[in-house]
Amino acid sequence: MVLFDNRRYVPIENVATFYRMDLPASGGERFRLQATGRSIEGVNGGRELYINGVKYVLCFPIVSKDGRTLISAMDVVKIIEPILRPQKIKNPGTVRTVILDAGHGGIDSGATGPFGKEKDAALDVVLRAKKLLEESGFQVRCTRDSDVLIPLEKRAEFANRHSNALFVSVHFNKSNTGVASGLETYCLAPRGVPSMDEENLSYSDYIQHPGHKQDPANVALATTVHAALVRNLRLPDRGVKRARFVVIKNITIPGILVEGGFMSGTPDAQLIASAAYRQRIAECIRDGVNRYKDAIANQSNQKPSAVVAATDPTSVPTLEKVAPVVGSKVDIESSVAQAREAIESPAKGN
Are 212 and 190 within 8 A, CB to CB? yes
Beta carbon nearer to Zn ion, 281 or 308: 281
Beta carbon nearer to Zn ion, 16 or 122: 122
Q: Tell me the window of 101-109, 130-138, 142-150, 278-286 that interacts with Zn ion (CB under 5 A).
A: 101-109
Q: Tell me the window of 42-50, 110-118, 189-197, 334-342 that interacts with Zn ion (CB under 5 A).
A: 110-118
Site size toward Zn ion (CB under 5 A) is 3
Beta carbon nearer to Zn ion, 170 or 221: 170
As measured in angstroms, the least distance from the Cβ of 268 to Zn ion is: 14
Angle at 109 between CA 98 and CA 166, to 5 degrees: 10
As measured in angstroms, the least distance from the Cβ of 102 to Zn ion is: 10
DSSP symbols for 85-128: -GGG-S------EEEEEE--BTTB--SEETTEEHHHHHHHHHHH
Using CB under 5 A as the binding rule, whether residue 260 contacts Zn ion is answered as no
Which residues, at least 6 apart from 333, have a Cβ–Cβ distance to it below 8 Å?
A: 116, 120
Using CB under 5 A as the binding rule, whether residue 116 contacts Zn ion is answered as no
Sign of the CA dihedral with 225 first, then 226, 231, and 233 last = positive
Using CB under 5 A as the binding rule, whether residue 265 contacts Zn ion is answered as no
Give, for 69, the enclosing helix (H) or strand (E).
strand 68-72
As measured in angstroms, the least distance from the Cβ of 149 to Zn ion is: 13
194 three-state secondary structure: coil
Q: How far apart are CA 63 and CA 3, in angstroms?
A: 11
Q: How far apart are CA 85 and CA 80, in angstroms?
A: 8
Which residues, at least 6 apart from 34, have a Cβ–Cβ distance to it below 8 Å?
A: 21, 22, 24, 40
Among 110, 113, 216, 288, binds Zn ion (CB under 5 A): 110
Using CB under 5 A as the binding rule, whether residue 144 contacts Zn ion is answered as no
As measured in angstroms, the least distance from the Cβ of 173 to Zn ion is: 7
Using CB under 5 A as the binding rule, whether residue 103 contacts Zn ion is answered as yes
The CA-to-CA distance between both ends of the chain, in Å, stands at 56
As measured in angstroms, the least distance from the Cβ of 83 to Zn ion is: 26
> Pattern of binders to Zn ion over 151-180, x per CB under 5 A?
--------------------x---------
Binding site residues, Zn ion, CB under 5 A: 103, 110, 171
